[in-house]
Structure 1
Amino acid sequence: MAFDLNYYTPAPEFATPAAYFSMEFALDQALKTYSGGLGFLAGSHMRSVYELKQNVIGISILWSYGYYDQSRSDDQTMRAEFHRKHYSFLQDTGITFPITIHEAQVQVRALYLDPETFGTAPMFFLTTDIPENDHLSRTISHHLYDGDTATRVAQSILLGVGGGKLLDVLNRETEVYHLNEGHGLPLAFFLHEKFGRDRAKVREHLVFTTHTPELAGNEEHPLELLYKMSFFGRLTLGEVRDLGIVENERVNYTLTALRFARISNGVSKVHGKVANEMWGHNEGISPIIAITNSQNGTYWRDEQLHKALEANNDEALLARKRELKKRLFDIVADQTGKLLDPDALTLVWARRFAGYKRADLILRHFERFQKLVTDTGRPLQVIWAGKPYPKDFGAIAVFNSLIEKTKNFNTCAVLTGYELGLSAAMKKGSDIWLNTPRFPREASGTSGMTAAMNGCISLSIPDGWIPEFARDGENSFLLPLAELNAAENEKDDLEATGILDALENDIIPLYYDQPAKFLAIRKAAMRDVEPEFESGRMATEYYQRMYDAK
């Protein structure tokens, strides 16, 4: 074999062999195997695995067309394009093996990413897009989060069963199998068969992370469809029913994973509480603890900014920040023809584009917003970016409405191509990071962590990780939260007002009139975000509280 699973000697405290299954990993701009926050989180985790020398292997799928390439139509609205990807840095292992999908054999090939390539755990990417398969089987690994239900089910089987079988083909001893979200749930049934249908044995080895604090976001499908797709391996329909995982003739991925896992976790303290409220009344589930998501500082932080911070050199820090703003504004000018001012207060909203994240909330009271972005004395510049799911037409409509509503403002821009590279440029080149999810639907929300690492201050709803970090007016700015049971319109009105009030009354006056105080908040954000929200802490906590906990 052209690869070495024993690439480094694991540190003694991280010797337990584990495998981490995730549908997406954001490891490098060049490797397009991710869509948004789940991938960013998984990528940072694998980087910290490498830095800490943990005994973890990452397993995912090689998406032939990635997620999609976000570009513009002639009228500047969003367009999704799909282009086949090729990666010279992935090694063909020579390993091909069959799995069963829809009662037919599908051949799986494994490709390997060397740890030194991007500074990650050893990584394997599975593909069915090989000549040994028919056209339909080849398409299973074409598109991340394919819109066709049967294809999505097949992708779950590829990740779970394919990943589990790969570890056996490699003869790799694996003590802990870690499901990052429920996408790879068929792994549980693969292990069920592997361990002689001893469910207690499966529980000894399987751990699970849930990321979605809303019922509708937790994938479930009809039992009949999953059974026909060979989701449950060799189990008969009666044996599946006997497992106690079928409710109303449907199988919920999250609930089933909770019932097969030894221990599970939510991804912030708020989310841990929400997850227990959502699932805790169900019989037979694992304990759900909270391990807050975090991001890898080595990858995300600007070293010059941090050297200036450590040296307490305010002049150097501000000069570097201005330089980083100019770099971001070069991207803005290239995409939109608008040239922004590096001395002006710049606010960014950027993350996966979904309705509950409310990218357009700041525009709700439009006349007030317009006044802020057209004030020539103390201007506010606003930039948006994010990728909607390509068939989420509501989110796409919001994206396009931002372009239409702000096209005549020279201080506003909407960018396409929100991937790792643009994300880093936006975090390094902005002053305020706006976060406006509907509470409590943001499980973690790690983009504000990497923004803070780069001297960008969060202006946020107190959801996800924010309550664990934020000190209002000291290292961040907190937005008022509407009553939980209020109508959505009322919530939006109140929380949109809170954004504009914070900008008008606090942030803009501080930036322009009290720059020393604004700088103090910027520096506090940089100091306070690490090490608690750096992924070395998270990766260590997974070993201490899940992998080695019995």
Structure 2
Amino acid sequence: MTNWKNYTRESRIAYFSMEIGLSADIPTYSGGLGILAGDTIKSAADLKLPMVAVTLASRKGYFRQVVDQEGWQKELPVDWKPESFMELLPTKVLVTIEERDVKVQAWLYRVKSPTGGEVPVLFLDTDIPGNVEQDRRITDHLYGGDLTYRLKQEIVLGIGGARALDALGFSIRKYHMNEGHASFLTLELLSRARRPIEETWDERAAWDTQHVLGQCVFTTHTPVEAGHDRFPYDMIQQIMGEPVPLTLLKELAGKNELNMTMLALNLSRYVNGVAKRHGEVSKSLFPGFEIHAITNGVHPFTWASPYFVTLFDKYIPSWAHEPELLVRVDNIPDEELWEAHCGAKAYLFQYIQETTGTEMDPDVLTIGFARRFATYKRGDLIFSDIERLTRMGEGKLQLVFGGKAHPKDIPGKQLIQKIIGQIKSLYPKIKIAYLENYNMDVAYRLLPGVDLWLNNPIRPLEASGTSGMKAALNGVPNFSVLDGWWIEGHIEGVTGWSIGPPPEKNPSQENHSDEDANDLYDKLENLIMPMFYHDREAWIRVMKNAIGKNAYYFNTHVMMRRYVTEAYIR
């Protein structure tokens, strides 16, 4: 095993993320943000990029979802042991919380690539003898607790993470904050860069913000104002004290309350959104800042089903490390592509039968919808007109759902309950399955196994939408609202289909669910279903286009090359 000190021999990019999804066995992720972070790290290893990642140990995970007989989501802790997967590093650091010294330790996980590349990931943990009980629990629950708990976690991530890297001997050339949760690391860098006041005779000038600017990269993922973490300044002073003078902090993070996104924006030389449209939306949310756009991607080898891995290996050698070669998808005979898809579909249907008892028909058009259950994602849009859905879909449509609602999101839980109710009321005319406890393992079965991937959020709230990229990698066409990445990947009837009017004819702030639902039904009934059932050759052509025109580009290899050239070496 590599001595961990070997990782400190060259300077690295430090990638900070509150959540990182590397495997279902390490449940330190809740959804798209964490999965993206995991895919980012895997591609960095594939490309042999000098990176080190920092996150929280989240000893009790996000939560394990159980849906009861009434369709109501219950949350159970996911207890896992870092020592089963990781090596405890010998150095501990201190952070100050409520005037107490809180010890922070780091577990090391190595992400290794077949190319020989390795990326160390540090999982920060406060469950240490000597810390008081409430401090030992800080790194237990991902996104758990109240605002005070969140603030303490973000102190551990940003300040504790920066101190851990320094104490372990890492030389950092750039700090990349994946969302605003880690923004406090800028305050740690500011304190390090502070010049003696007698050199400047000016308290404000002593704090070298320009030096910190040159060290930081910030990626924002949240396209709505309310989604950015904010903390009252009296809470900041009570829990953190004054890591920098309050007047300076208000100048950097907001006059009335501390906005973590504003703090990162003001102290990062390079800032980006995660799709072209999201970059534009972010500029409107934070006018005056230069915000670029690097569209998200997915890690090819992680998300290709075993059936497609075999197929790609046979006809497109080296695809996993050079995914741009997927443009050669026409090398694959149609019948072999369809056979691989049928294998993935059978794999999913076996899982559905084992977990839900529902026996799906492999010959029926099967639509998948799985993501975090927030109301803006409109998981029930396809049920807008039950009579029409039944009329056109009886015996010809099957639906598979999955996803968790945040424990405090009551409307999201009610949405799950509504869908569970439709399972019972529409059976047997339309078979519907809800896959409990949606995680990386369930996604690995679900995404490649459906025939069509559905996504219909309220515009412009889809920052990117990487689940659709995973579907495209497996030849599953997207049927989606034109938002996030799909604006860039969509060619109507070629790579998939759109829902609702095009962006230029519909301002992003206007949403009419009735119009979107009607368009969904019209295209499903008049374009998609006829092609699936009566023109298999045309359907396979769309599947190939999803791979050759979407998956070849929307992957984390392409994404990371852009981060290197546009953000890291500036």
TM-score range, shorter chain: over 0.9
Which of 152, 155, 173 does residue 154 from structure 1 map onto?
152
Match of 1:22 in 2: 17
**Shift, 1:224, TM fit:** 1.2
Which of 310, 327, 331 does residue 351 from structure 2 map onto?
331
Q: Which amino acid aligns with 1:463?
A: D
CA contact (8 A) 2:372 2:405 kept: yes
Match of 1:107 in 2: 103
CA contact (8 A) 2:213 2:267 kept: yes
**Secondary structure of the structure 1 residue equivalent to 2:92:** strand
Alignment pair present for 1:230 and 2:240: yes
Distance 1:229 1:279 in 2: 27
Q: Relative to structure 1, is the Cα distance of residues 117 and 75 closer, same or farther in structure 2, using a 3 angstrom cutoff?
A: farther
Distance 2:134 2:64 in 1: 23
Match of 2:420 in 1: 403
Match of 1:4 in 2: 4
CA contact (8 A) 2:45 2:113 kept: no
**C-alpha deviations, 1:448-498, integer Å up to 9, x for none?**
00100001110011100111111110111111238438875xx01000111
Q: Relative to structure 1, is the Cα distance of residues 74 and 320 closer, same or farther in structure 2, using a 3 angstrom cutoff?
A: same
**C-alpha deviations, 1:332-361, integer Å up to 9, x for none?**
112221100112111001112211111111
CA contact (8 A) 2:58 2:140 kept: yes
Q: Which amino acid aligns with 1:221?
A: F
Match of 2:563 in 1: 542
Match of 2:203 in 1: none
**Secondary structure of the structure 1 residue equivalent to 2:401:** strand
Which of 467, 481, 484 does residue 507 from structure 2 map onto?
484
Match of 1:204 in 2: 214
Q: Which amino acid aligns with 1:328?
A: L
Identical columns (%): 34
Alignment pair present for 1:48 and 2:48: no
Q: Relative to structure 1, is the Cα distance of residues 305 and 357 closer, same or farther in structure 2, using a 3 angstrom cutoff?
A: farther
**Secondary structure of the structure 1 residue equivalent to 2:157:** helix
**Secondary structure of the structure 1 residue equivalent to 2:112:** helix
Matches within 5 A, 1:77-476: 77-87=72-82, 88-116=84-112, 121-196=119-194, 197-230=207-240, 233=243, 235-241=244-250, 243-247=251-255, 249-281=256-288, 285=289, 287-302=290-305, 303-306=309-312, 307=314, 309=329, 311-374=331-394, 376=395, 379-408=396-425, 409-410=427-428, 411-476=431-496
Q: Which amino acid aligns with 1:212?
A: T
**Shift, 1:237, TM fit:** 3.0
Q: Relative to structure 1, is the Cα distance of residues 348 and 146 closer, same or farther in structure 2, using a 3 angstrom cutoff?
A: same
**Secondary structure of the structure 2 residue equivalent to 1:122:** strand
CA contact (8 A) 1:89 1:117 kept: no
Distance 2:335 2:507 in 1: 44
Distance 1:431 1:244 in 2: 48
TM-score (norm 2): 0.90
CA contact (8 A) 2:59 2:141 kept: yes
Q: Which amino acid aligns with 2:249?
A: V
**Shift, 1:414, TM fit:** 1.2
Q: Which amino acid aligns with 2:139?
A: S
**Secondary structure of the structure 1 residue equivalent to 2:412:** helix
Q: Which amino acid aligns with 1:476?
A: G
**Shift, 1:311, TM fit:** 4.1
**Shift, 1:143, TM fit:** 0.5
Distance 1:279 1:115 in 2: 35
> Unaligned regions of 5+ residues in structure 2, if any?
195-206, 316-328
Q: Which amino acid aligns with 1:298?
A: F
Distance 1:462 1:335 in 2: 33
Q: Relative to structure 1, is the Cα distance of residues 62 and 232 closer, same or farther in structure 2, using a 3 angstrom cutoff?
A: farther
Distance 1:504 1:485 in 2: 26
> Unaligned regions of 5+ residues in structure 1, if any?
10-14
Alignment pair present for 1:33 and 2:28: yes
Match of 1:12 in 2: none
The CA RMSD measured in Å over matched residues stands at 2.0
CA contact (8 A) 1:8 1:53 kept: no
Q: Which amino acid aligns with 2:262?
A: L
Distance 1:16 1:311 in 2: 42
Larger deviation, residues 503-512 vs 251-260: 251-260
CA contact (8 A) 2:219 2:271 kept: yes
CA contact (8 A) 1:61 1:125 kept: yes
Distance 2:432 2:81 in 1: 35
